[in-house]
Structure 1
């Protein structure tokens, strides 16, 4: 079976596919992106909301700034290690059971984190948060492609990114406001409330989009086989690493925000918006470009132009922070430009990956998330002591990652020059 051919048992789809024929497509196009963006927000809320509470957590637990970085790394590594399994389980059980179960466990883990008496206990529950959050974050990405295709799928994926894109800016600001209302534990109580709310929304508002006749057997061999099929695809690796590496150039600033904001820029616990808001504006602009380009510009040209712009943003970033005027607002211009290019390319790259394996989309998005999260987890921990020496080193490392993403995409274009690339 070729990578782009319909799976056995899956009927050819033209235009809009709706598992529930009675569901109005226009209405679905409005509320589905909102629900899926909310599920995707578990990721940035889990990572960014605790940042403003780090100083208080350090005094209370107690822990150093480097030790508190483990609060981020523990979540990311656990999320990455579990991510290969959420998607295949949704291919076998359906999307709703995996999403509801994962979000419910996340809520319970958040309660445990709020009640943690020391850093070691907190890290245990952060690992549990990472292991469970993918049930919502990862599986939700397959729902749009389950129900829509072509330009409509790209437009809806772009809307999800636009809504989701606000989360990294809102999360640290919200975290700063929450710790004004109470101790650092209130941040994790908020995560617990958010998890319960999402579980109820999915339970009562989101229908099943992966019907039984399209599911794979719930057997270890079948689940691992779907992952192996994805992993052995060179085309998958080229596209996945193009997306993961280019996004890592932006995530470098997100994952190390406490060091960038507090140490390198010398700002306070309520000033995270200064770094995040420009990047979110870039994400919103890029997602808008992707949505407008749907059906007008093919995937090959859109992704190429977007990644070239990200590289341009990286170069601008290096130049600006190397000048004597390397201060605000110039220090946050480069990351915002990188975000424009990344957000423009990301929806199309995700659809390309999902269309490679129409029968096991969950496995495809799981493996892609696995590579992305492991890369970001390593960047947030192992690279932190190296790249956070100065804003210039940060900018150079970010640009190198974006360039690597462009190289991976160019390699894919050369390998598929005789065949179509657009989803």
Structure 2
């Protein structure tokens, strides 16, 4: 039995969106079962993001030193055991602690999927493979809320975490069986874990591309955070319609990732990143202008395609930005990948918190923050694009 590498890595990368999105429809039921309220249960999302960041920033340098597979297996083992234990928890504190542990395991494992691509490929091929992985993996956030709703309708919320445990164990067996080690001993770093981060942070162009990607992704995190308000409250759509409105953006990202793979045959990654960021800036500007000055034109059927274009542009930005950064770092690809992920999550959290502070029951703050994040990404990209060092040979 053989499976394509992008499919194996997509199955691994899907751990995070499945763990975040699948249990969202069950939060009300969880609150009742744990004798709490839904707002306290929602804290489990934040604890998961925190734990996931810890897992990533730890797993990256560990895999540079000990190899990719041992860290993946360790992470999936932690994730599977924590998920199984979550299905038996009876308290809110137990939920929060176990979600953090579960996330640490997930971060340890999934941070290595991008590093494996860097181990095996060079140049444009990195971006092509990452686009293929993203295109397959994006089915997870598309189906996860629907799958969670289906499970809750036939069983209870505990079955969701049991399924996550089974899924992670299944992925672990597949990877043990089918995935060869991509980081051989002679390439492994023997330096202290933080040394790899220093190598990445000292590289001026890499810093700027990481910032570009983090700001671009922050716009999507703002959308994810604020979309329930926008679609359910402001546009007064039903809960049954929300997964379809939300999922439309995921479908566009999948399509654009596929288009990106074809465009890489003719264009440089830097040019495709510039196109994607420019789309975000233009769409963000239009959305902000409509929400602020033309509220009568700010309708669901006006906003939906603009949002789809804004979020879908990440299909041109994400894989190409990561490939551009990783081309400079072969021996510490795990550290570079971890740093990208942590900066993405922290940037998204910061912009999301800022939106929460500015929220005034109108869509204007949401659109303003989405435009601001895109504009910041554009500034960082221009600083990287016109830096002399971008034309220099890779650092490692």
TM-score in terms of structure 2 length = 0.91
What residue number does 1:348 align with? 320
Show the counterpart of 1:115: 88
Q: Which residue in the other structure is 1:333 paired with? A: 305
Question: Alpha-carbon deviation of 1:146?
Answer: 1.1
CA contact (8 A) 1:318 1:396 kept: yes
Q: Which of residues 58, 77, 84 is equivalent to 2:31?
A: 58
Say whether 1:247 aligns with 2:223.
Answer: no
In the alignment, structure 1 segments of 5+ residues that lack a partner are 1-26
RMSD: 2.5
Q: Does 2:3 match 1:33?
A: no
Q: Distance in 2 between matches of 1:118 and 1:109?
A: 15
Match of 1:176 among 128, 131, 149: 149
What does residue range 131-146 of structure 1 map to in structure 2 within 5 Å? 131-146=104-119
Give yes or no for the alignment of 1:398 onto 2:367: no
1-structure distance, mates of 2:352, 2:164: 22
Say which of 37, 44, 69 aligns to 2:17.
44
Q: Summarize deviations over 1:48-73 as a string: whole Å, max 9, x none.
A: 11111122223333444433331211
Cα shift at 1:204: 0.8
Cα offsets for 1:199-232 (capped at 9, x unmatched): 1111111111111111112xxx522211222223
1:225 to 187, 195, 198: 195
Instruction: Count the aligned residue pairs.
Output: 393
- Does the C-alpha gap of structure 1 residues 119 and 206 become closer, same or farther in structure 2, counting only changes over 3 Å? same
Instruction: Please state if 1:130 is matched with 2:100.
Output: no
Q: Does 1:364 align with 2:336?
A: yes
Aligned pairs (5 A) from 1:287-326: 287-319=257-289, 321=291, 323-324=295-296, 326=298
| Deviates most, 411-420 or 121-130 | 411-420
2:270 and 2:320 in contact (8 A); partners too: no
Distance 2:198 2:301 in 1: 46
2:374 pairs with 1:375:
no
Q: 1:258 to 1:421 in 2, by over 3 A?
A: farther
Q: Verify: 1:70 aligned to 2:40, yes or no.
A: no
Change (3 A) 1:137 1:260: farther
Q: Which has the higher helix share?
A: 2
Paired position in structure 1 for 2:254: 284
Deviates more, 1:176-185 or 1:390-399: 390-399
Distance 1:381 1:74 in 2: 15
Displacement of 1:112: 2.1
Cα distance in 1, alignment partners of residues 252 and 307 from structure 2:
8
Separation in structure 2 between the aligned mates of residue 268 and residue 201 of structure 1, nearest angstrom:
39
> Would you say the 8 A contact 2:122–2:327 is kept in 1?
no
1:415 and 2:387 equivalent?
yes
Work out the CA distance in 1 between the residues paired with 2:37 and 2:304: 26
What's the secondary structure of 1:357's corresponding residue?
coil
Distance 1:155 1:103 in 2: 26
Change (3 A) 1:403 1:191: same
Tell me the distance in 1 between the aligned counterparts of 2:49 and 2:368.
23
Residue ranges of structure 2 left out of the alignment (5+ in a row): none
